[in-house]
């Protein structure tokens, strides 16, 4: 039987900004192809917007547009709701209503998934519908599907990811051009690669929410994103790139998840990685997710982390998945197979890694001994050391140290001890080293 | 209802070498988890081997082992056949029999898929069963699933891939150690990274078969792997790495697929890629598949291309997919959505790219003019040129040229013209440049 004779799958789109426009375009341009994939035609039923006058999407037919949420969510002919509004409310209550009404849901909303993912998954599972969210992390990178389907017979031991394109873009340009953060940020804002209010990106909160979403699938973990240790990139100095490379490292802003027995290490911060790591070559606005599976070994996925088109591709691939399951009468099956449970986070003091430490000091006798002494007293041993006069400032020097694997708590205590000395010209810089 | 109360999905494993052992281990170690994913327990029914005395897999229970193919393939209680024998026969006839008997099939066999993929897909589709083959390309890298599911709403415009771990390993070591091909190959053989008979790998045939399998999904193309232009890495000289890097390139062995209107460009050969390409950082035994989607943009997948464990992870994730579809009563649905059609290949003479050309010549007046003249007469213009005396050979020089984008036919004709000159100390070296 031709797929076009089948009862169509009716879709309601919540939100019609750039991603929504991209979704409507893909649905229209690939109509026959998508119908063949799904086993029935896909049909847009409604497009819910706040202000119809502000819809700028030519693919959006006027007859679809409505501002009445209940008209959309109470419509029994709607099978599937695709949410591309973003933010916590009203997206959350719309999705809850849709699930409770037996509609499957596709969402691109990382904040919502980070905050309410586990409860929404349980709700969807109970209602026998699907909740798919490929577009919530890594734009067009198929990382959610890979964690859910490809690693189904394996266990993820760690995730090291570049989840924020703005951070990666700024760090890449700082490294290539030798310029300071503020200068590159201003230029990135001018070029549209950074928001006017950049905090969500450059302070690491966006990456943290995405890490929490990934952790649901990678580790089956329910975690509050506000409990995750997060540092942004504002404090990165351009000299750190030069020193990092001298030791063979690349400097990146990483979101890290590591399974440690029953607990989970989740943290988001600048980190040094070996220059030979495949992640080191992921530059500019690209995102990258480096997964280590116990049996699989390393697996890196790279692509555009944002943007209308890549995000729309992910939303539509979710729509196809969910619609196909519905047509086949197995809605909710793959969503129901995702199991999550609350997991304790390892306190930062208990994290163990190698550290890059930079001390900007007055160039006088006894300074090195004082620093080395403080580290030694806290059991932190040094693997490499370099001292260099600072060209920008007469009589001062930079001391760089790479430590052996140490406990974070011990390193922080040693730095606090050193911070009292009058020879310290600025706070010591600490960057964790990840051998990924 | 508990999944354990459900009728189990019965699996026959064809072959029990290292990958087969890995599959049995994953099935045993993750039993409950897999049952939850599938919606029913997975149960091994038979393990078909040629010689039971040579089965070295402790997870293989003696009661499973049989040498009688018809006992396995005629068993109506077997739902799913996983083939890890490799090679063309008897694997092909086993799979055909299984499909015709209504059993779904999982295969890790690249040669079989390259030669018979389209007809096997059609056969499976007709029989209403699934044929899954994630493990046939890129070991543990979820590239088949990504092309099939994630890019379902998009069109692939190109694929640039490192599909052979042995080639990548040898080139990486040649580059890092400055040694010649034969020396690194011998060491790789000693270390188990290259076969005693290395031709399938180092001459590019393995990569070609995998490229043909990828092309089925990326471009919906049916192509005979014997029609694809293939060059291996034996002729790569260690000096080419140094020259490549001087121009900012990395030297890799690439499998390339590009859509050109109705035809397809498929070729496998050494190539220079920009040092800033994320593919340039994929070194050692790792494989990498760099896909460009029209809407998606770039998407790179990296991981272990071979090895017992990663390959077994892919086989088992296919088993879960296929078993789940069977339990849900939708077997054959996703396989039936794969559409392929015979596609013409672009003749090599019509390929257009930039070229790296190296001429080892007698260092005498007029040589450069003769070479430049021949290129000019065939319409090939030069973007960069470097001439360097060869330290290893008094009175000789290397001339390096990077051309502007040119037609392969024109470049080859120019090289043939130059090859007649007595100043040429060796055949000119041509390496294509891919801006990926």
Q: Alpha-carbon distance A316 to A337, whole Å? A: 21
Please tell me chain B's helix, strand, coil percentages from 3-state DSSP, rounded to the nearest 5: 40, 25, 30
> In the predicted model, what is the mean pLDDT of chain A?
93
CB contact under 8 A, A316 and B141: no
* Percent of chain B with pLDDT strictly greater than 90: 83
User: Nearest Cα to B313, choosing from A299, A295, A143, A291?
Assistant: A295
Q: Alpha-carbon distance B220 to B209, whole Å? A: 15
The pair of three-digit structure tokens given for residue B172, joined into one six-digit string: 């990486």
B48 touches chain A (CB under 8 A): no
A146 touches chain B (CB under 8 A): yes
> What integer is the mean pLDDT of A345-361?
97
Residue A427 phi, psi dihedral angles, 5° rounding: -60, 145
Span B348-433: which CATH code? 3.30.70.260
Does residue A419 carry a pLDDT above 60? yes
Q: Alpha-carbon distance A227 to A229, whole Å? A: 7
pLDDT for A389 equals: 83
Q: Which residue has the tokens 């879960």?
A: B320
* Percent of chain A with pLDDT strictly greater than 70: 98
Show residues of chain A in contact with B150, CB under 8 Å.
134, 142, 145, 313-314, 317
Contacts of B298 by beta carbon, 8 Å cutoff, 6+ apart? A286, A302, A303, A304, B278, B290, B291, B292
The pair of three-digit structure tokens given for residue A74, joined into one six-digit string: 């109470």
Note whether A406 and A383 are within 8 A (CB): no
Q: Alpha-carbon distance B242 to B87, whole Å? A: 39
Nearest to A328 among B151, B300, B333 (CB): B333
Contacts of B12 by beta carbon, 8 Å cutoff, 6+ apart? B44, B45, B46, B47, B48, B72, B73, B75, B78, B80, B81, B82, B98, B103
Q: pLDDT tens-digit profile of B229-281?
A: 999 999 999 899 999 999 999 999 999 999 998 899 999 999 999 999 999 99
Residue B173 phi, psi dihedral angles, 5° rounding: -70, -40
Give the least confident one: A97-106, B40-49, B174-183, B382-391: B382-391
CB contact under 8 A, B313 and A36: no
Q: pLDDT tens-digit profile of A53-63?
A: 888 889 999 99
Q: pLDDT tens-digit profile of A99-137?
A: 999 999 999 999 999 999 999 999 999 999 999 999 999
Instruction: Assign a CATH topology to domain B3-139+308-338.
Output: Rossmann fold (3.40.50)
Query: How many A-B residue pairs are in contact by the CB < 8 A criterion?
Result: 197
Q: How far is CA A66 from the centre of its chain?
A: 32
How many C-beta neighbours within 10 Å does residue B9 have?
25
Q: Alpha-carbon distance A129 to A106, whole Å? A: 11
pLDDT for B150 equals: 75
From chain A residues 366-425, the ones with a CB under 8 A of any chain B CB are none
Q: Alpha-carbon distance A141 to B299, whole Å? A: 7
Does residue A392 carry a pLDDT above 70? no
The pair of three-digit structure tokens given for residue A274, joined into one six-digit string: 């070996």
User: Nearest Cα to B230, choosing from B199, B261, B184, B259?
Assistant: B199
Domain B144-304 CATH assignment equals 3.30.360.10: yes
pLDDT for A5 equals: 65
Scored b (16 or more CB within 10 A) or e, B95-127 reads bbbbbeeebbbbbbbbbbbbbbbbebbbbbbeb
Q: Alpha-carbon distance B235 to B173, whole Å? A: 15
CA distances from B94 to A33, A273, B89, B98, B106 (A): 32, 47, 8, 6, 12
* Percent of chain B with pLDDT strictly greater than 70: 98
Contacts of A209 by beta carbon, 8 Å cutoff, 6+ apart? A110, A111, A113, A114, A115, A225
CB contact under 8 A, B303 and A298: yes
Q: Which residue has the tokens 């503020």?
A: A182
Note whether A141 and A302 are within 8 A (CB): yes
CB contact under 8 A, B149 and A153: no
Instruction: Determine the 3-state secondary structure of B172 from DSSP.
Output: helix
Question: Where are the domains positioned within chain B?
Answer: 3-139+308-338, 144-304, 348-433
Helix axis angle for B110-127 and B205-218, nearest 10°, is: 30
Q: pLDDT tens-digit profile of A126-173?
A: 999 999 999 999 988 999 999 988 777 888 999 999 999 999 999 999
Q: Please indicate whether the domains covering A3-139+308-338 and A144-304 agree at the CATH topology level.
A: no
Query: Catalytic residue numbers of B?
Result: 210
Sheet of B104-107, strands arranged across: B65-66, B42-48, B9-14, B80-83, B104-107, B131-132
CB contact under 8 A, A151 and B317: yes
Does residue B338 carry a pLDDT above 50? yes
Ramachandran assignment for A375, one of left (phi > 0), alpha (psi -120 to 50 degrees), beta (any other): alpha
In which band, very low, low, confident or very high, does the pLDDT at B1 lie, cut at 50, 70 and 90? very low
Does residue B129 carry a pLDDT above 90? yes
> What integer is the mean pLDDT of B294-298?
91
Does residue B5 carry a pLDDT above 80? no
Q: Which of A19, A132, A156, A295 to mutate to test the interface with B (most CBs of B within 10 A)?
A: A295
CB contact under 8 A, A286 and B277: no
Residue of chain B whose Cα is closest to the Cα of A155: B30
Q: Alpha-carbon distance A88 to A102, whole Å? A: 21
pLDDT for B393 equals: 58
pLDDT higher at B152 or B157: B157
Instruction: Determine the 3-state secondary structure of A397 from DSSP.
Output: strand
Residue of chain A whose Cα is closest to the Cα of B146: A142
Our CA dihedral for B81, B87, B93, B97, rounded to 10 degrees, sits at 10
Q: Which residues pair with A18 in a beta bridge?
A: none
To the query of whether residue A210 is one of the catalytic residues in this protein, the response is yes
pLDDT for A241 equals: 95
């Amino acid at each position: 039987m031709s797929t076009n004779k089948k009862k169509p799958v009716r879709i309601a789109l919540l939100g019609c900004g750039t991603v929504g426009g991209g979704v409507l375009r893909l649905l229209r341009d690939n109509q026959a192809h998508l119908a063949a994939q799904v086993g029935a035609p896909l049909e847009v039923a409604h497009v819910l917007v706040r202000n119809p006058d502000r819809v700028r999407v030519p693919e959006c037919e006027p007859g679809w547009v409505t501002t009445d949420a209940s008209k959309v969510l109470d419509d029994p002919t709607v099978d599937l709701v695709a949410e591309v509004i973003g933010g916590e409310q009203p997206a959350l209550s719309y999705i809850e209503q849709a699930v409770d009404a037996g509609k499957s849901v596709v969402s691109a909303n990382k904040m919502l998934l980070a905050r309410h993912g586990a409860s929404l998954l349980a709700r969807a599972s109970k209602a026998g519908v699907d909740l798919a969210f490929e577009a919530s992390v890594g734009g067009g990178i198929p990382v959610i599907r890979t964690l859910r389907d490809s690693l189904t017979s394996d266990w993820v031991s760690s995730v090291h990811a570049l989840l924020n394109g703005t951070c990666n873009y700024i760090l890449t340009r700082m490294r290539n051009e030798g310029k300071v953060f503020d200068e590159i940020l201003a230029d990135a804002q001018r070029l549209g690669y950074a928001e006017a209010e950049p905090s969500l990106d450059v302070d690491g909160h966006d990456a943290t929410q995405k890490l929490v979403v990934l952790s649901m699938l990678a580790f089956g973990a329910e975690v509050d994103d506000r409990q995750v240790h997060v540092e942004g990139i504002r404090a990165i100095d351009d000299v750190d790139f030069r020193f990092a490379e001298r030791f063979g490292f690349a400097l990146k802003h990483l979101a890290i998840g590591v399974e440690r027995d029953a607990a989970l290490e989740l943290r988001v911060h600048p980190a040094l990685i070996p220059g030979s790591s495949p992640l080191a070559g992921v530059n500019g606005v690209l995102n990258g997710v480096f997964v280590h599976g116990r049996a699989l070994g390393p697996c890196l996925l790279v692509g555009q982390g944002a943007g209308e088109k890549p995000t729309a591709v992910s939303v539509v691939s979710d729509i196809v998945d969910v619609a196909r399951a519905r047509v086949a009468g197995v809605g909710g099956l793959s969503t129901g197979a995702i199991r999550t449970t609350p997991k304790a986070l390892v306190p930062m003091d208990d994290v163990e890694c190698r550290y890059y430490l930079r001390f900007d000091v007055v160039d006088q006798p006894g300074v090195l001994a004082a620093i080395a002494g403080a580290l030694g007293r806290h059991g932190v041993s040094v693997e490499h050391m370099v001292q260099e006069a600072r060209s920008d400032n007469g009589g001062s020097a930079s001391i760089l140290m790479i430590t052996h694997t140490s406990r974070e708590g011990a390193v922080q205590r040693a730095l606090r001890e050193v911070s009292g000395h009058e020879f310290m010209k600025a706070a010591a810089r600490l960057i964790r080293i990840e051998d990924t």
